[in-house]
Amino acid sequence: MSKYLITGVAGTGKSSVAKELQKRGYAAYDTEVGFSYYVNKNSGERAVRPTHPKLKWYEEHERVFNEQVLNNIFKKHSDEPLFICSITANQKKYYPSFDKIFLLTSPDELLAKRIHSRTDNHFGKHPLELARVISRHQAFDDELKAAGAIVIDSTQSITKVVDQILESMG
C-alpha cells in the first residue's frame, strides 16, 4: 500500500499532523516518539542528547531513523496507507520508499512562536537550537522541493493542512 513522508523543520506541525491523521483513522507515526535517535556522525554509535547541547555536540551528532523499527512499521502497514511524520538526517535514503513526500512549511517567525509555545517537545526552545532550525530552514525546504516534495502551507489550521495532504494522495 502507499507510504507517505510528511517532513519539515521543527515547528512546522509534523506531530500535529500525525495526531490529526490518527484521529481520522489513518496509520500515522511521529518519529519523535520511539523510532529515531542520535548518533555520532563519525562512529555511528548511538548517543544520548544532553539537556542543553552545545554547538560542538550538534556538529558531531545527528538524529536518524531506527531503520529496523521503520522497516517493521512498513511491513506492519503494508495493506493500508501509512504516514511517517519526521525529519531525520538519514531520511533521504528512504525517499524512494515513499509514494509521495509532503513538505510542511511556515515562516520563521511562526516556527519560533510554535516552538516556544509547545509543551510536548522541548527541542528548539534553547536559543542555539532555534538558531540552528532557522538557519537551516531555507536550505532544507529547497532540498525537498528539488526532490519533488509537495509543498503544504502549514500556517493553515491543522484540519486544512491534513485535508490538503489527503486530497494530494492521488
pLDDT the model gives residue 122: 64
pLDDT the model gives residue 116: 66
The span from the CA of 35 to the CA of 73, in Å, is 10
Contact yes or no for 58/89 (Cβ under 8 A): no
The mean pLDDT of 20-35, rounded to a whole number, is 89
The mean pLDDT of 145-150, rounded to a whole number, is 95
Radius of gyration of the chain (CA): 15
pLDDT in tens, 115-132: 767 666 666 556 767 778
pLDDT in tens, 62-116: 989 888 999 999 999 999 999 999 988 888 999 999 999 999 999 988 777 877 6
Contact yes or no for 38/92 (Cβ under 8 A): no
Contact yes or no for 96/72 (Cβ under 8 A): no
DSSP string, the chain: --EEEEE-STTSSHHHHHHHHHHTT-EEEETTTTSEEEEETTT--EEPPPSS--HHHHHHEEEEE-HHHHHHHHHHTTTS-EEEE---TTGGGGGGG-SEEEEEE--HHHHHHHHHH-SS--TT-SHHHHHHHHHHHHHHHHHHHHTTPEEEETTS-HHHHHHHHHHT--
Least confident residue range of 35-44, 50-59, 126-135: 126-135
pLDDT the model gives residue 124: 57
pLDDT the model gives residue 6: 97
Ordered domains of the chain (ranges, CATH) = 3-34+66-167 (3.40.50.300)
The better pLDDT of the pair 10, 62 is held by 62
The span from the CA of 85 to the CA of 164, in Å, is 15
The mean pLDDT of 28-44, rounded to a whole number, is 87
